[in-house]
Chain A
Amino acid sequence: MTMEEGKFGVQEAVSLVATAISFKVFFTSPSLAADLVGNNIWYMTLISASTAILGFTFIYLLLRRFPDQDITAIFSETLGKPIGFICSAFLCLYLFYAASSSITEFTEVMRDYIYLLTPSSIIIGIFVVAVMTLCLLGLESIARLARFLIFPMLFGVLLVLVLGFKNFHINRLFPILGHGTLKTLTNGITRSSAYGEIVILAVVAPSLQGIAFVKKAGYTSLILSGLFISMLLLTFALTYPYYVAREITSLMYGMATLIDYGRFLQRVEPLFLFVWFLSPLIGISGVFYCFISVYCKMFKISDSRPIVVGSSIVLFAVCLFQSDLGAIASATIQSIRNFGWIPAFALPILALVIGGLRKKGTKYHV
C-alpha cells in the first residue's frame, strides 16, 4: 500500500524546496546569525549552503542506490525495520518540529509588526487551516502553487531590495571577517541545517521523474537558495550595523520600513507583506506534508486525509503552547539550526554507510 503523491517536474520541485529553505530569512534567523558571527553573515550562509550541497550529495548517492524509493523505505531496507522505523520517526518529529516552530515564529513576528492586537490563536488557526487545505490537495498542488508564485514573490523581494538601496553603506561590511574566521566557519557548517529542507526531496523522491531529476532539483535548489539568502543577508549587513542587526526581530521587514523617497514613496512594506504571507505558507505546507508523508509510510497508511486533519489539530495545539517569541528565537529556532543537520544529513549518511556495508541497493541505476 503506497500513498499516491502525484508527479511534478524539476521546476516545481526547485520552487517548493527553495521556498521552504528561503522563507526563514524573513524572520528571526538572520538576527541570530548576526549575533553569532557579526557582519559577515552573508558569506557565512554560503559556507552553510556549500556544506548542505555536500550533505545532499550523500542523500543523492543514497537515493541512487535505491531508485524509486523514498527515504522511509530506504531507512527500513538499510538499517533494518526497527532501527529504520526509529530513524523515520526521528525525521518525522524533526519535520513536525520545524513546521510548528516556523508557524509560531511567523505568528509572533506578525503580532510584533502587523497584527498587533489579533490573538495568536486566530493567526495560527487561519494559517493551520490554509496549510491543512494545501496538504489535503496534495504534494503536487503544493509544488505547482510554489512554481506559480515563485516569480511574483521574487519580484516583491527584489523590489524591496532595490528600493532599500538608499540605506546601504558599504563600510558596514567591515571588519570583513566579523567575529573571526573560525567562528564563521564553525557556525557556517553547523547552520547548514538552515538548508535542511532539502530532505523534502528524499521524502518525495518517487514523485520526481527519476534520480537524474532529483539530482538536478537538489543542486539547483541549494545553489539558488544559497545565492538568494546570501544576497538578502548582504543587504541586511549593508543596511544595519552588526550591533543593531543582532537586536532586530525581522531585518527584512525593518529594512522595508526604512524605505523613504519622500511623500510619494514611503511605507512600502505592504509590497513585502505579500511575500511574507505566501512564502511561509508554501514552505511550511511542504514541510508539514513531508511529515504526513513520512508518518503514513511508517505506519503504511495509504489514505493520508484523516491524518492531515488530525495532525493539523495537533499542530495548532503545539503552536499555541510555544507562544513566546524570545523562547522560540533563542531556544527552538536555534536548536533546529544547531542540530537540524542530524535528521537532515546525518541519518541519510548513516543509511548510506550501513547500506554499503550490508551491500543493500543497486550500485548504479538511472
Chain B
Amino acid sequence: MPAKKSAEQDSHKPPLICMREVNKFFGTFQALDKVSLDIGASEKVVICGPSGSGKSTLIRCINRLEQHDAGEIMIDGVTVDDSAAARAVLRNNVGMVFQQFNLFPHLSILDNLTLGPVRARGMAPAAARELAEYYLERVRIPEQMQKFPDQLSGGQQQRVAIARALCMEPRIMLFDEPTSALDPEMIAEVLDVIGELAATGMTMIVVTHEMGFAGHVADKMVFMDHGRIVEMAPPKRFFSKPESDRCKIFLQQILRN
C-alpha cells in the first residue's frame, strides 16, 4: 500500500546515514570512540560485539535517544542535533524497535500503532487506522487490534512494536537487540518478520547476536569492541576470515552456542 521510496543505491549521492568520528561519553566512560560509518539507502548493517561495546549507543545516537559529544551524524544530508530540521528528518526517516518492546501498556494495540501517525504526522484517525491494519497484517497480527499489550505473547508484542515503528513509514529501521528478551521459541517469528522487511528495500541497522540471521540478511557486518568499530566486512568474509583476534574470539564464543 504505502509507496516505498526508491530502493536502488546511487553512488553519486551521499550515503543515507553518515557518521563521522562520533564520540560519546557516559561520565568518564567512553561508549563511542571515533566511530565512522556510512550506510547507503536500502543497505542492511548488522552490528555485533560483546556487551558494553557501544552497539546500542551507536544506534541510539542515530535517532537522538543519546546525544553524541563530538563528531557528526548526518541523515539524508541533515545534521542530527536538537534543531527542528533534525527532528523532521528523524520523524520522516527513522523508526526504532527496542529490546524490551516498550509498547504503551495502557493503550490498545490499535492505539499503540495510530498514536504516532495521528499526533506526530498529523494523519486523520481513519487513515491511521487503515495504515495500522495494513502493517499488523504484514507482521501477521491481524484481529488483535482491540487487545492490550499484556494479552499478547512476547513474540507478538515485538511484532506489534515493529508495526508501530513501520506506521511512521520510515526509510530507516533501527533494531536494538530485538530478540534478546524473547523466549527461544518466539525468536524465529520475529526474525522472519525482520527478514521480510529487509527484502522490501528498507535501510536497516540491527544490533543482534543472531549470527545465522545476520549472515542471511546483512550486506555489511560490523564488529564493535570498547566503543570502536574493530571490523567491518561483508558477511561472507566476516564469518570465514575475520581479521582481528578479538573478532575471532567473539565469533568462536557466540557460534559455539
Q: Do A and B come from one complex?
A: no
Q: Which residues of B contact A (CB under 8 A)?
A: none
Q: Which residues of A contact B (CB under 8 A)?
A: none
